[in-house]
Amino acid sequence: MNPASNPILEAAMAGTTGSIVLLALAGFGVLVVLTLFGELIRARQMPGTQNPVLDTYMTRVESWWAMVALISLALITGRLGVVILFLFASFAAMREFLTLTAKNRADHMSLALAFFAVLPLQYIFVWMGWHGIFTVFIPVYAFLLLPIVSALRGNYTRFMTRVAETQWGLMITVFCVSHVPALMSLDIPGYGERGVLLIAFLIVVVQLGDLLDFFFGRRIGKTRIAPDLSPKTWEGLACGVASAAVIGGFLAWLTPFGVIGAALMAAMASLVGMFGNLVFAAIKRDRGVKDWSHLIPGQGGFVDQLDSVVFAAPIFYHVTRYLWSV
Amino acid sequence: MNSILTALRRFAADIVGNIIRLFVRFLTAVRADWQGIEPVPKQRIFFANHTSNGDMPMIWSVLPPAIRRQTRPVAAADYWLKNKLRAFAGGEVFRAVLIDRRREVNDDPMAKILEAMATGDSLIIFPEGGRNMGPDPLLPFKAGIYNMGKAFPEVDLVPTWVANLNSIMPKGEVIPLPLICTVTFGAPLHIGPDESKDDFLARASAALADLRPAEPEEAAP
């Protein structure tokens, strides 16, 4: 039987698209409220006065509009759209990351290979759904081969640092990021082709968890987790993770996890994401920069935007695979 | 007929210019950091460090369109007239002021530069006189910038630092790396009433070197 004429499959597909449209509309709804809120304050502002906080806020909201639109569009397009979106996200993130790492002329070829061979290959493997390859390609093959290419140039100045920082960049910006689209390739019984909804679930719970961590941290935060690194507090973190769990429970209809399972998965992803945020803060401090780049107006670079999702993605992927996949 | 041809070439040059700009932006996400001046259309001399042939297109690409149209790079004729493609890019896309560096040619480069300045155009110059391949951040400046500042004392001399280009495309490599490049514009300089040539060149060089961002523990080449 031709799968396209299968009414059950068609209904399932329509359900997936319907869910994405619903989520996108909810996202746009929130953004409309946020935009109106900003415009209202702007309207009440004395003419001729400046309000830099409001300007920052409005630039951020504008960037969020673009992001929600882009992600919704990719999710609706399905597998290829999502893979291409995250391929470009990886490219932008790796560009930011490797701009700040130690390297010299001897690394030119291995860095070129990282950008123009490792990155596209990883996404081709993810697109094909070859779990056995995309989970080992960077940690095994790139890990061993790129240092060989660097060593062949015969320069040993700070070799360990150069090689380790390049590999770290690849792991974070390509390997980890690619685990977001890889969620689509999981074969979960009774869940069908709805893998794309897991991406929406992961991004929504992690990002909202971060936002609420920031909000509660400002309100009730007292104990800094790592005062030298970031203003994050244990109170904010606990509230953020708890909120992510509640939101995850409400979004259980997107997932194969059930309500309790969805809440726990959301809490885990959010928790890992928040600590990931701390790790990125440490790297930025080490390199003496405030943001990774200036690519996204008002919010720094791609890595600033993605850091917690990046950290959460591989663990979210593997836990889902072990517990729910076949 | 001739005027149609000229218009067509002009149009082609505009398109090629935009392609170069988009390519540079996509590859290096190049960003302008206007530290010492505002990006306003005013006659200026942007004097920059020179480590790679990509420097000039990079500065040119970050200038806002209104300023870019009024800005001409000063470049070496032997490089930009090597073949027809380069001649088109140098002459019509970048509208470079071409200087002949060969000793046997009796050409007055300063006259050409001052002539270009007299029309009110801004210029991009590389006062080190050639590409810097060594470990020092800057080579000693040539006198040209001093003569230009003397001839047009009201024109802003703007130090312009191009960062990271050396790792994007080191000499001898074919594939450029997509790393982020920043072009920093510093506070404008003017020659003091009784400042000597050497004093001014040292001051200009120091002003440019000051814009160099702190390197993240650079691994020595």
* Domain definitions of chain B by residue range: 2-210
Shared domain for A41 and A117, answered yes or no, is no
Distance CA B158, CA B166 (A): 21
Residue B219: which of A115, A162, A288 has the nearest Cβ? A162
Closest by CA position to A38, among listed A17, A20, A4, A62 = A62
Q: Is the pLDDT of residue B18 over 70?
A: yes
Instruction: Give the distance from residue A176's alpha carbon to the nearest chain B alpha carbon, in angstroms.
Output: 20
- Write out residues 269-298 of A within 8 Å (CB-CB) of B: 287-288, 293-295
Low-confidence ranges of chain A (pLDDT < 70): 1-14, 292-300, 326
Shared domain for A99 and A181, answered yes or no, is yes
Q: Is A170 on the interface with B (CB under 8 A)?
A: no
Shared domain for A171 and A213, answered yes or no, is no
Shared domain for A167 and A214, answered yes or no, is no
What is the predicted ipTM?
A: 0.71
Q: What is the pLDDT of residue A42?
A: 81
Query: Contact B170/A108, CB-based, under 8 Å?
Result: yes
Q: What is the pLDDT of residue A324?
A: 87
Parallel, antiparallel or unpaired: strands B97-99 and B44-48: unpaired
| Domain's final residue, options A185, A219, A235 | A185
Q: What is the pLDDT of residue A296?
A: 63
Q: What is the pLDDT of residue B214?
A: 66
Domain interval for residue A38: 1-77
Shared domain for A157 and A89, answered yes or no, is yes
Q: Is B216 on the interface with A (CB under 8 A)?
A: yes
pLDDT, averaged across chain B: 83
Shared domain for A197 and A325, answered yes or no, is yes
Q: What is the pLDDT of residue A297?
A: 61
Q: Please, which contacts does A6-13 make with residues 24 or more away whose CB atoms are closer than 8 Å?
A: A9/A192, A9/A193, A12/A192, A12/A193, A12/A194, A13/A193
Q: Is the pLDDT of residue B216 over 60?
A: no
Structure tokens belonging to residue A1: 């039987």
Residue contacts between A and B (CB atoms, under 8 Å): 52
Question: How do residues B63-95 score in pLDDT, each as one tens digit?
Answer: 988 888 889 999 888 888 888 888 888 888 888
Residues of B in Cβ contact (< 8 Å) with A112: 175, 177
Provide the 10 A C-beta neighbour count for residue B154: 8
Structure tokens belonging to residue A177: 């990021």
Q: What is the pLDDT of residue A316?
A: 95
| Domain's final residue, options A157, A185, A213 | A185
Residues of A in Cβ contact (< 8 Å) with B177: 98, 108, 111-112, 115
Instruction: Give the distance from residue B94's alpha carbon to the nearest chain A alpha carbon, in angstroms.
Output: 26
Residues of B in Cβ contact (< 8 Å) with A157: 219-221
Structure tokens belonging to residue A256: 């194969």
- Write out residues 108-167 of A within 8 Å (CB-CB) of B: 108, 111-112, 115-116, 157-158, 161-162
Distance CA B79, CA B14 (A): 21
Q: Is the pLDDT of residue B32 over 70?
A: yes
Instruction: Give the total number of structural domains in chain A.
Output: 3
Shared domain for A218 and A94, answered yes or no, is no
Query: pLDDT band at B48, cuts 50/70/90?
Result: very high
Provide the 10 A C-beta neighbour count for residue B192: 10
Average pLDDT over residues B96-104: 77
Higher pLDDT, A43 or B208: B208
Q: What is the pLDDT of residue B195?
A: 85
| Domain's final residue, options A145, A162, A185 | A185
Average pLDDT over residues B170-186: 84
Query: pLDDT band at B185, cuts 50/70/90?
Result: very high
Query: Contact A102/B217, CB-based, under 8 Å?
Result: yes
Question: How do residues B110-155 score in pLDDT, each as one tens digit?
Answer: 888 888 888 889 999 998 877 777 777 788 888 888 888 888 888 9
Q: What is the pLDDT of residue B213?
A: 75
Residues of A in Cβ contact (< 8 Å) with B167: 103
- Which chain B residue has its CA at the smallest distance from A103's CA? B219
Q: Is B184 on the interface with A (CB under 8 A)?
A: no
Average pLDDT over residues B191-197: 85
Q: Is the pLDDT of residue B217 over 50?
A: no
What is the share, in percent, of chain B residues with pLDDT greater than 70? 93
Average pLDDT over residues B1-28: 84
Give the distance, in angstroms, between the CA of residue A5 and the centroid of all CA atoms in the same chain. 35
Count of helix runs (H) and strand runs (E) in chain A: 13, 0
Q: What is the pLDDT of residue B25?
A: 81
Say which residues have a Cβ less than 8 Å from residue A13's Cβ, sequence separation at least 6: A193
Q: Is B173 on the interface with A (CB under 8 A)?
A: yes
Distance CA A102, CA A168 (A): 11
What does pTM read for this prediction?
0.80
Could you please state the CATH topology (level 3) that the domain comprising B2-210 is classified under.
Glycerol-3-phosphate (1)-acyltransferase (3.40.1130)
Shared domain for A73 and A115, answered yes or no, is no
Q: Is B218 on the interface with A (CB under 8 A)?
A: yes
